[in-house]
Amino acid sequence: MSKKVLITGGAGFIGSHLADDLLKEGYEVRALDCLSPQVHGEKRDRPNYLHKDVELIIGDIRDKEIVSLALQDVSIVFHLASMVGVGQSMYEIRKYTDVNNLGTAILMECLIDSSVEKLITASSMSIYGEGAYQDGFGTIHHNSKRYVSDLKNKKWELYNDGQELQPVPTSENKVPALSSVYALSKYDQERLSLITGEAYNIPTTALRFFNVYGTRQALSNPYTGVLAIFASRFINNKPPVIFEDGNQQRDFIHVSDVARACVLAMESEKANGEVFNIGSGKQYKISFVAQKLAHVMGKEIKPEISGEYRVGDIRHCFGDISKARKLLSFEPQKNFDDGLLELSQWLEHQIANDSIEKANQELSKRGLTI
């Protein structure tokens, strides 16, 4: 008999792709998802992209009864249910803490009495805060940070003794430096999972995702990832708004690679009790990403550089993925050009309600853009 897998947040962007992969591998898939209006729209319909064989339970991760029900007969759990906006987390503090931290705590209590044999939790590169940096002497700095006084003067980069530091790939050894409520909640999810897993002999893995992009990312959610936000602006023939100067760097990993990493972590005993960076091993500047997306979407729209800092944002972070390569045999397969092309083809059939201006005003009126 095939094993049953529960994906919390399974109707979402990453969860739905993972569900497709698991079904192909012969697993039975159940999704627990609240179909949040911010992601799925006010009607909260079952998304069309969700594979018909996924058993969808509509419910909240903070509802202990529903979570226990969702865990019945389940062998493997992927915990992906989360609120995901860094900016939004800085004012919806209670909501983020409630859904992400408390939701995970409730899931953990329910797991104790379940038949689950393996837990994989989605963590995030955001827990690192700033990535790793190197100075002119080759010394690696793990505690670099930026100061509001510098950011007000549009001094965006990081310095040590007056010398500009260069970003280098960040490995799992970097001590977390939590710079947003969202990051704090992801770290909480990761640790709660590993601590509970160890205490109750449930093999557990936390995957620190870098910036995931691809089809099915919610386009009308102004708090989603940068590529989906930029896509929504282009669809509406408006310029994307770039914070800072656009030279900040991120590691964009295609959702198909993330789904594969999830399956590898599930299948490998070497993953038990471990954390892994799941990124592409490459990095790009945000302004370059905006240009590239405009190009594949056939738009001649120049981005607007706001020159403002979004509170909670870090300057550069990209992953050292050697641990996942070594222990999980993980190798990213979709290069950025192919991933963007696939995204642009999907975007041709999408409608996006662009509310980014309103979202940015929300940040600005609270002093969360500087």
Binding site for ligand UD1 (CB under 6 A): 84-86, 124-126, 209-212, 223-226, 229, 241-243, 248, 250, 286, 310, 313, 356
Is 48 exposed, middle or buried (CB count within 10 Å of its CB: 0-12, 13-18, 19+)? exposed
Q: Which is nearer to ligand UD1, 51 or 176 (CB)?
A: 176
Least separation in angstroms between residue 360's CB and ligand UD1 is 7
Q: Which is nearer to ligand UD1, 77 or 231 (CB)?
A: 231
Least separation in angstroms between residue 46's CB and ligand UD1 is 22
Least separation in angstroms between residue 321's CB and ligand UD1 is 13
Q: Which is nearer to ligand UD1, 29 or 86 (CB)?
A: 86
Least separation in angstroms between residue 303's CB and ligand UD1 is 8
Q: Considering Cα of 129, then 130, then 133, then 139, what sign does the dihedral take?
A: negative
Q: Which is nearer to ligand UD1, 220 or 224 (CB)?
A: 224
Q: Which is nearer to ligand UD1, 27 or 230 (CB)?
A: 230
Q: Which is nearer to ligand UD1, 101 or 224 (CB)?
A: 224
Least separation in angstroms between residue 320's CB and ligand UD1 is 15
At residue 1, what is the residue type?
M
Q: Which is nearer to ligand UD1, 7 or 226 (CB)?
A: 226
Q: Which is nearer to ligand UD1, 197 or 225 (CB)?
A: 225
Least separation in angstroms between residue 197's CB and ligand UD1 is 21
- CA separation for the pair 36, 26 (Å, rounded): 28
Least separation in angstroms between residue 357's CB and ligand UD1 is 10
Q: Are the CB atoms for 336 and 252 separated by under 8 Å?
A: yes
| Pairing verdict, β 140-141 and 132-134 | antiparallel
Is 51 exposed, middle or buried (CB count within 10 Å of its CB: 0-12, 13-18, 19+)? middle
Least separation in angstroms between residue 76's CB and ligand UD1 is 22
Q: Which is nearer to ligand UD1, 8 or 248 (CB)?
A: 248
Least separation in angstroms between residue 351's CB and ligand UD1 is 19
- CA separation for the pair 6, 4 (Å, rounded): 7
- Residue 209: partners with Cβ closer than 8 Å, 6 or more residues away: 14, 122, 123, 124, 125, 253, 258, 278, 279
Q: What is the DSSP string of 317-339?
A: E-B--HHHHHHH-----S-HHHH
The interaxial angle of helices 336-347 and 286-296, nearest 10 deg, is: 50
Compute the residue count for the chain.
370
- CA separation for the pair 108, 110 (Å, rounded): 5
- CA separation for the pair 87, 362 (Å, rounded): 10
Q: Which is nearer to ligand UD1, 200 or 284 (CB)?
A: 284
Least separation in angstroms between residue 185's CB and ligand UD1 is 10
- CA separation for the pair 288, 294 (Å, rounded): 10
Task: Give Dmax over CA atoms of the chain in angstroms.
Answer: 63
Q: Are the CB atoms for 297 and 245 separated by under 8 Å?
A: no
Q: What is the DSSP string of 40-103?
A: H-TT-PPPTTS-TTSEEEE--TT-HHHHHHHTTT-SEEEE------HHHHTT-HHHHIIIIIIH
